[in-house]
Each structure stands twice: as C-alpha cells, then as structure tokens.
C-alpha cells in the first residue's frame, strides 16, 4: 500500500495594511472637507477683517453672483455660499465659534464640528437628500403658518391693510430652502411679536396661490402690504428682512415732532377728526414696533415721534414732564394741553400698545364722516342690556356755530356713560342723513337728536330735543333731563326712520386715486424689469406693444388716405330723402329696439310664431305689442322704456305683431274669447275695433290664456283740438304722397285704403305722434299687476295661426 502525501495550501491571509490605508485616506478626506468651507476665503477677507470690510466684500460678491443677474449654472450655489459666509461673519458670536471651534451653527454643541466635515464630504460627492429626492419632514412649528388659497383671500389679504405679512414660498424638493431655514426662523422669532404676519406657501401643494402671488420658484420671500405683493431680492439675512418689512410700510405713518411743530400736530384733530399719540424715546430713528402700531391704527389715530436726545425738544419734554429713562406714550384728544392717557414702560410690548390705542381711538365727540365710523360708534342694538344711544348734534361749519359745539363737548365730557355716545355732523356735508332726521326741513339753528339703531338696513328710533341747541344752561338741563327719561323708559324714542348711507368725507378725489394706482403700477413694472421677471412682464409688454401697434397703424392709415375721403359729402335733397326712406324701411324690418333701451324685442312671423307662442315652455309668458307700420318706431321706443325694468325676468319674452301684415289675427283672437269676456264683465271690449295699435297681450301658450292691455290716452291736451291737427296733418301727408312717383303713390294708396277699411270711425287723429307716444303710459302699472298675478285671464280654445288669418283676409 502506497501512501500518497498531499499538501494543502493554507488560506490567504488578509493584509492588515489595506484597511489601514483606506481609513487613513477617509480620515484625510474628512479633515480636508471640514477645512474646505471657509467663510473668510469665500468672501475673500482676512481673519482680522472689520465688519465694514466684510459687509463691503459681501455686497460686491452678492451683486456678482446673484442668480437673477448671473446666468452661470454655478451662480446659485456660489450665492448661497456667500450669503452663508456673511451670515456667520456678521454675527460676532458665530464668528467667534467658527474661529475657535470651527462650528457654523450657534445652536450646535461644542466639539461636534466633525459632523459638518462629514456633511461637506457628502456634499462634495453630491450625497444629499435632494440627490435621491427624499422628501424632508416639515417642521411642526411651520405647520401653523401654512397658507391656503381660500384662507389667503378671505383672511390674509384683508388683514394686510392692518399689518404687513412676510411670506416664504418653499417646496419639498428645494435644497436652497434648507440653507435659509435658520435665518427664516430667527426672523420669525423677531418680527412676529412685533405684529408682522407670517405665512408659508408650499409650491407643490398650493400652485394656485403661488400663481396668484406671482411666485414661480422656490425659495422666494414675499412682502404683502395693503394687498400689494413685493418680492424680496436681497441676501437672506435677518437685518435685510427686517429692513424689507420696514420699507414696505407707508412713508408718512409717523411724523417727527419737535418744539416747532407739536402744537399744529395736536391741533389737527379739527381737520383729521382723530386723536393724536406722541411717543418719546431716546433713539433717533422711529422704532419698528411703533411704525407697525401706527400702521394698524392709521384710520383712527395720528402718530408722532419725539427724539429725547434732540436738543430741539427741550421745551416739549419740560412741558409734559417726560421721564427720559423709559419710553413714554401720551394720547391727546380735544384738549391739547393735557393728555387723556399716559403709558410708560421700559420693555414696550405690542399687546400693551394695542390696548392703549384701541381704548382711545375715538375723540370724545367725533364727527361722523363716513359709514364705517357711524357703525363703530353707534352699533346696532343686539341685546337689551347692550343698548347704545347716539346723541347727535346737527350743526354747521361756520365760526358762529363754534360756541354751541364747544358747549356740546363740555356736556359730553361731564356726562360720559357707557350707553351714551356723543357725535356731531355737518348738515351741509351729510344732507341725506339730516333730511331723514329733520323731515326734509333745513335746520336754521343746531339741533340735537337722540337715536338708537335697530337694524343694519338703516332703521333707527329717534327723538329730537325740543328748542334746538345754542349751548345755554337751559339747553344742557333739557338734554340731561331727556337722557334720564330715556334710560328709565326705552320707549321714549317714539319716532322711526330709515337712514341712508353716510357720505365718505375723507375719501380722496378721483385724480388722487388714479395717481396712486399709476405710481404703484410703475413701481411694479420697474421692479419686474430690474430683476428680469419676464414671466410676469409678458402680459404687460403684450398690452403695450398692442396699443403701440394700433396707434401707429391708425396714424399710417390716416397718412396714406386721400384727403377727400375724410371730408363728409353733403347729400342732395333728393338723396337725403331717399336715405331717410331707406332708414325707415330698415327700421320697419328690424326686430331689435334701439340700443339705449337694452331690451330685445322679436317680431312674430310665420317662422317664430310656433316657437314663441304655440310651443312656449310652461311657466313662460310672451308679452306682445300690436303695432302698425306708421306707429312702429314710436311704440317700440315707448314699449322698451316701459318694460325695461322687467327685462331681467327669465320667464318673460317680448315680441311685437304687425297689424298691417296680420290684420285679422286680433279679431280672430278676440272673437274666440268673446263669450268668456262677456261672462266676466268685459263687454266694453270692442272686438271689431280695427285700430289695435298700442294693445299689449301677455300670452301663455301652454295654458292657452292671455291678459289684455288697452291703450289709455293720458297724454292728450284738453285745450288742443287734436282732431283738427290730425286732420290737417293727414291732408298734408296725402298731398305730399300725390307728388311722388307712381310706384310710391300706388303703395301709399294701397296702404291708405287698407287703413281706411279698418280704421276707426272717430277719425285719424289716433295716428298723431303725440297720441301714439302716450298710448303706453299705463303699461308699467299693468306689468306690475301681471307679475303679481292680479290681471283677469281670458281663455282661448286654440291659438289662431298667422297663416289662417292671412288666408281668411284674402278670401274676404
């Protein structure tokens, strides 16, 4: 037996050098990535650079790398790096943390700067959630700021007239939004307690709202003031956002007050009809908190600011004994020497300022200048215990009325109660209101009226104080006595009236409104052109080029047109007569009334008769006017004016029937209903009367009944012999018709013979223009009775057709 020796190869050993080399390379890469991002190198400044140098370098780089101005693909990333670097170095605490520990976030614990290095390593290889499109989880604190389209239009847009809004447009897939998130949170924490509204719009979920705002990319920051949208185009830094909000506010919200102008400022309550607030503080610039408070109450109170450090305010500080160690607010009303309320605090909060101003936003005796002030000062009674009586002085603007107004102010100051509101009104400025309370009588002397509002529609209960008002002690005693009786017995107000809406005396004139709108529009165009927002500029540019094209096209056409074309050619008498005949023939065949009446009237013909009457939808009524060729134009104009107020009803249709074309239709209709008319007492209807011009019928095709309107001649002049006038006019018309051509005279004679065959025995005076115009004077009252359903209804067994009436007339 042979033994065979086999040799096994041992398993290969792993060299321990390779993992060590890999870990060494990885650590070196981490350290290099950690030291890659250096804000000093990004801004190009030294570590000992001052804040002025850092700010100067940042501004130059921000202008160079702004994505709206630099089309380089790397511009956006470079702009973010520049903004982040300035954010770190502009804050001394962050700058110190970076210099000592290498950390770039002040909320990060010390010793964790390696995490930033690993993040930089991942960023260098593009390992980020945006690379894999992983949606980042939204911060729970941001959910309360999310805006929706309906909420924005119902709540935020109206509220922007009282406080500014700062809105951020973001998206789930926005990497740049992550970079501005720390600055955004700091800005929200600073501005929200001051009264600035905060909003967040998700570009992916609220595309409709984003389009309304004009935001088409994320991130975008928008300011909203007075309903006007403004985009933020600077670097996302807290100081820039704060200045952005301050620049959006109106310029003349707060007036700078010194020793030279404080008296005119306080005395302006006569004209402005508002109390005045003075804020005393040590800083030379008006604080943003005070500007925001002034913006919220700009419709009620005037605001002024006094710099305590200014040497021109020593007399003002000494007069009101102002403490220079804390901000102080004084509120003045009619008395300019003594404030009605004072507040002083080192840490002035927005809630304290709002409560201070809202409790004193009306004068002691304000003047009613618009409906909004009247609604707030004298609200409508809701409960018995919440009655508000308004004591109103109706006076004039002349100097002679000032003593009475001063006495009324003194009376109101002494008799201040929660249920009483004192006000005055100028009779010349509010004439409709004064006429309703004084029964259309002009008040020669001032009058006092006590009223209580009962409904929002203007209904009030009131009582006038007898004897007028001249400010005497007797007048004060009489008014006090009636107010005491009113509080004991609310039924003391015995008269009622409906007050009209007050005139807005403070509304700017049209030219001022137009100039303000034009100024805002020009600013918007300038802003869009400056930042190349071409998507929003396309409609405006299209409108401008269209207007220019039309303008230049008109000029070119006029320049190349012949001179003789623009001169009107004077028609000859014969041509003018022919033109008038053509116009009258076109008017006779047209089925549309004049444009100024805005009523569509169709003609009943063989084509439209079935659809407009026989097969009319249930519940619909066709109001038909019967006319002739001679009376067509006058009757149609009058008919359109009378039924214009009823043309908005969907179930009413308006038509006309030419009795000259279908002269036997009316007799056939009335003959079919003669038995029912006699049974209902309408025996006076002359069914054989040949003159039906001016009759109006309301036809219900489905139920086969109609209501009849007969002309009422209310426009005849009893002193005028209309028959003679009509006779002479007829003879003149006949004499003119004889002098025309043979064809024309033949048609005229045929028309006259037809009218003579069916004309009334009373003469042709019914054809005059005055009587034809007045035939439909009572049609409006008849239409009202038709809408009420109180007119008698005449039943018909079947509607006579237009073809049958034509045939019958031919056979006859």
* pLDDT on residue 385: 61
Asked if residue 460 is part of any domain, the answer here is yes
User: What is the pLDDT at residue 671?
Assistant: 83
Which of 248, 266, 290 terminates a domain? The answer is 248
Spatial separation of the C-alpha atoms in residues 610 and 616, rounded to whole Å: 8
Least trusted range by pLDDT, from 76-85, 572-581, 611-620: 572-581
* 767/122 Cα distance (integer angstroms): 100
Residue 265 has pLDDT above 80, yes or no: yes
Maximum average pLDDT range among 4-13, 187-196, 731-740, 747-756: 187-196
Name the most confidently modeled range: 253-262, 506-515, 603-612, 752-761.
Answer: 253-262
Domain stops at, among 305, 325, 359? 359
In tens, the pLDDT along 783-794 reads: 989 988 899 998
Q: Which helix (H) or strand (E) holds 306?
A: strand 302-307
Total count of domains within the chain: 6
DSSP strands (E only) in 207-283? 220-225, 228-231, 254-256, 276-281
Kindly tell me if the per-residue pLDDT of 514 is higher than 90. Answer: no
Place of tokens 């009264």: 195
196 and 281 housed in the same domain: no
CB neighbourhood size of 759 (10 A): 15
For residue 612, tell me if it sits in a domain: yes
Same-domain status, 185 and 272:
no
Determine the Cα–Cα distance for residues 655 and 612; give it in Å rounded to an integer. Answer: 9
Instruction: Using the predicted structure, report yes or no on whether residue 437 has a pLDDT greater than 50.
Output: yes
Alpha-carbon separation of residue 313 from 330, 332, 677 (angstroms): 15, 18, 95
Please check whether residue 404 lies inside any domain of the structure: yes
Are 787 and 648 within one domain?
yes
pLDDT value, residue 388: 83
13 domain-assigned = no
418 plus 512 within the same structural domain = no
- Which pLDDT belongs to residue 520? 67
Return the closest-CA partner of residue 448 out of 416, 414, 407, 485. 407
Residue 753 pLDDT greater than 50, yes or no: no
Q: Domain check: are 496 and 537 in the same one?
A: no
Q: Are residues 483 and 397 in the same domain?
A: yes
The dihedral sign for the CA sequence 802, 803, 809, 812: negative
Residue 662's H or E segment, with its range, is none
Whether the CB-CB separation of 290 and 279 falls below 8 Å is answered with: yes
Say yes or no to pLDDT of 704 above 80: yes
Helices 238-248 and 176-191 cross at an angle (nearest 10°) of: 60
DSSP character string of 358-423: HTT-S-SS-B--SHHHHHHHSPPP-SGGG--EEEEEEE-SSGGGHHHHHHHHHHHHHS--TTEEEE
Q: Mark whether 777 and 657 lie in a shared domain.
A: yes
Residue 751 domain-assigned?
no
- Count CB atoms within 10 A of the CB of residue 479: 20
Torsion of CA 14, 19, 22, 24, to 10 degrees: -140
Residue 800 maps to a domain: no
What's the pLDDT score for residue 116?
Answer: 40
Which is nearest to 354 in space by CA: 296, 306, 301?
A: 296
> What spatial distance separates the first Cα and last Cα of the chain, rounded to whole Å?
151
* 453 backbone dihedrals φ, ψ, rounded to 5°: -80, 130
Report whether 710 contacts 695 (CB < 8 A): yes
Q: Is the pLDDT of residue 521 over 70?
A: no
Check residue 601 and report its DSSP letter.
-
Q: How far apart are CA 57 and CA 42, in angstroms?
A: 10
**298 in a domain, yes or no?**
yes
pLDDT recorded at residue 166: 96
According to DSSP H, which parts of 673-710 are helical? 674-679
- Domain of residue 630 covers 602-673+691-713+773-795
By C-alpha distance, which of 83, 107, 82 is closest to 94? 107
Are 650 and 781 found together in one domain? yes
Q: Which two tokens stand for residue 191?
A: 């501005």
pLDDT digits (tens, 9 = 90+) for 43-73: 899 888 888 888 889 888 888 888 777 878 8
Mean pLDDT throughout 250-272? Answer: 91
CA distances from 614 to 16, 388, 701, 706 (A): 106, 62, 5, 12
Say how far apart CA 434 and CA 726 lie, in whole Å. Answer: 51
396: in domain: yes
Same domain assignment for residues 221 and 286: no
For 554-578, how does the pLDDT look when each residue is reduced to its tens digit (9 = 90+)?
878 777 665 544 444 444 444 444 4
Work out the pLDDT band at 529, boundaries 50, 70, 90.
low
Taking residues 594-599, report their average pLDDT: 54
pLDDT confidence of residue 714? 55
Domain with residue 205: its CATH number is: 3.40.30.10
List the beta bridge partners of residue 706: 699, 794
Total count of residues recorded for the chain: 812
- CA-based nearest residue to 502, from 401, 363, 375: 375
Q: What is the pLDDT of residue 747?
A: 38
Order of strands, sheet of 302-307, starting from the edge strand that comes earlier in the sequence: 254-256, 302-307, 276-281, 328-332, 341-344
Which pLDDT band, with edges at 50, 70 and 90, does 251 fall under? confident
Q: What is the pTM of this model?
A: 0.52
Q: Which DSSP state fits 155?
A: I
Q: What percentage of the chain reaches a pLDDT higher than 70? A: 70
Residues 221 and 281 in one domain: no
pLDDT tens digits for range 131-172: 334 444 455 567 889 999 999 999 999 999 999 999 999 988
At which of 359, 380, 405 does a domain end? 359
The pLDDT of residue 383 is 64
At 155 the pLDDT is 94
**Mean pLDDT, all residues of the chain:** 76
**Strands 341-344, 302-307: pairing kind:** unpaired
* Helix or strand run (H / E) with residue 57: helix 51-65
Instruction: Please check the confidence at residue 393 and state whether its pLDDT lies above 90.
Output: yes
Q: Which residue has the higher pLDDT, 245 or 486?
A: 245
| Model confidence band, residue 604 (pLDDT cutoffs 50, 70, 90) | confident
Q: Which residues face 281 on adjacent strands? A: 307
Q: Are residues 230 and 282 in the same domain?
A: no
Question: Can you tell me which residue has the tokens 């220079």?
Answer: 324
- In this predicted structure, the answer to whether residue 200 has a pLDDT above a threshold of 90 is yes
Give the bridge partners for 302, in sequence order.
Answer: 276
User: Among 338, 331, 353, 313, which residue's Cα sits nearest to residue 277?
Assistant: 331
**145 and 240 together in one domain:** yes
738 CB-near residues (< 8 Å, 6+ apart)? 745
The CATH number assigned to the domain holding 92 equals 1.10.287.110
Lowest mean pLDDT among 27-31, 74-78, 699-703: 27-31
């Amino acid at each position: 037996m042979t033994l065979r020796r086999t040799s096994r190869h041992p398993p290969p050993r792993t060299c321990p050098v390779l993992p060590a080399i890999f870990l060494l390379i990885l650590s070196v890469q981490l350290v290099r990535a950690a030291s890659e991002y250096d804000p000093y190198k990004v801004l190009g400044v030294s570590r000992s650079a001052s804040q002025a140098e850092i700010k100067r370098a940042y501004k130059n780089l921000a202008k160079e790398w702004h994505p709206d101005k630099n089309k380089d693909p790397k511009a956006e990333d470079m702009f973010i790096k520049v903004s982040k670097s300035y954010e770190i170095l502009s804050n001394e605490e962050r700058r110190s943390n970076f210099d000592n520990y290498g950390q770039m976030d002040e909320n990060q614990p010390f010793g964790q700067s390696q995490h930033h290095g690993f993040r930089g390593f991942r960023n260098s290889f593009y390992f980020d959630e945006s690379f894999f499109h992983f949606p980042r989880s939204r911060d729970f604190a941001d959910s309360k700021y999310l805006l929706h389209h309906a909420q924005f239009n119902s709540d935020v847009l109206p509220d922007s007239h009282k406080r500014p809004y700062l809105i951020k447009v973001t998206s789930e897939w926005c990497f740049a939004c992550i970079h501005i998130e720390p600055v955004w949170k700091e800005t929200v924490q600073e501005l929200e307690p001051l009264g600035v509204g905060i909003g967040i719009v998700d570009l992916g979920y609220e595309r409709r709202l984003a389009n309304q705002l004009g935001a088409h990319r994320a991130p975008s920051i928008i300011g909203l003031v007075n309903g006007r949208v403004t985009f933020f185009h600077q670097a996302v830094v807290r100081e820039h956002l704060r200045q952005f909000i301050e620049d959006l506010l109106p310029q003349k919200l707060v007036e700078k007050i010194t020793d030279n102008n404080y008296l005119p400022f306080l005395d302006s309550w006569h004209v402005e009809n508002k109390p005045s607030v003075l804020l005393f503080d040590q800083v030379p610039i008006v604080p943003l908190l005070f500007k925001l408070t002034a913006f919220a109450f700009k419709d009620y109170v005037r605001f002024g600011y006094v710099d305590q450090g200014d040497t021109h305010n020593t007399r003002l500080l000494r007069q009101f004994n102002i403490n220079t160690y804390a901000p102080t607010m004084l509120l003045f009303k009619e008395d300019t020497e003594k404030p009605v309320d004072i507040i002083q605090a080192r840490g002035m909060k927005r809630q304290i300022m709002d409560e201070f101003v809202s409790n004193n936003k009306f004068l002691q005796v304000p003047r009613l200048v618009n409906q909004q002030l009247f609604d707030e000062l004298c609200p409508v009674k809701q409960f018995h215990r919440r009655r508000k009586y308004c004591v109103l002085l109706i006076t004039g603007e002349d100097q002679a009325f000032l003593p009475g107004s001063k006495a009324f102010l003194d009376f109101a100051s002494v008799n201040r109660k929660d249920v009483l509101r004192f006000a005055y009104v100028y009779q010349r400025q509010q004439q409709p209101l004064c006429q309703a309370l004084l029964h259309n009588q002009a008040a020669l002397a001032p009058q006092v009226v006590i009223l209580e509002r009962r409904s929002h529609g203007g209904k009030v209960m009131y009582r006038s104080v007898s004897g007028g008002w001249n400010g005497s002690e007797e007048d004060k005693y009489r008014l006090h006595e009636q107010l005491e009786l009113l509080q004991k017995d609310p039924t003391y107000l015995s008269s009622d009236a409906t007050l009209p809406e007050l005139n807005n005396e403070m509304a700017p004139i049209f030219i001022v409104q137009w100039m303000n709108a034009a100024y805002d529009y020009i600013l918007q165009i300038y802003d869009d052109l400056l930042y190349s927002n071409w998507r929003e500029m396309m409609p405006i540019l299209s409108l401008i080029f269209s207007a220019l094209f039309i303008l230049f096209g008109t000029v070119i056409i006029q320049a190349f047109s012949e001179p003789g074309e623009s001169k009107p050619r004077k028609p000859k008498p014969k041509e003018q007569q022919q033109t008038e005949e053509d116009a009258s023939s076109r008017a006779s065949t047209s089925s549309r009334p004049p444009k100024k009446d805005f009523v569509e009237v169709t003609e009943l013909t063989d084509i439209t008769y079935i659809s407009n009457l026989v097969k009319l939808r249930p519940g619909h009524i066709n109001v038909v006017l019967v006319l002739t060729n001679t009376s067509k134009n006058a009757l149609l104009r009058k008919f359109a004016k009378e039924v214009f107020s009823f043309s908005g009803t969907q179930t009413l249709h308006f038509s006309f029937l030419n009795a000259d074309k279908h002269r036997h239709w009316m007799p056939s209709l009335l003959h079919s209903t003669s038995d029912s008319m006699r049974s209902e007492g309408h025996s006076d209807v002359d069914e054989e009367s040949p003159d039906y011009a001016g009759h109006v019928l309301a036809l219900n095709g489905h139920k086969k009944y109609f209501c009849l309107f007969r002309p009422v001649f209310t426009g005849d002049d009893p002193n005028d012999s209309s028959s003679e006038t009509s006779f002479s006019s007829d003879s003149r018309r006949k004499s003119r018709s004889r002098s025309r051509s043979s064809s024309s005279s033949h048609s005229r004679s045929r028309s006259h013979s037809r009218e003579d065959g069916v004309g009334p025995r009373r003469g042709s005076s019914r054809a005059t223009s005055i009587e034809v115009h007045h035939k439909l004077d009572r049609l409006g009252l008849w239409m009202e009775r038709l809408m009420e359903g109180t007119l008698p209804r005449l039943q018909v067994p079947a509607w006579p057709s237009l073809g049958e009436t034509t045939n019958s007339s031919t056979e006859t």
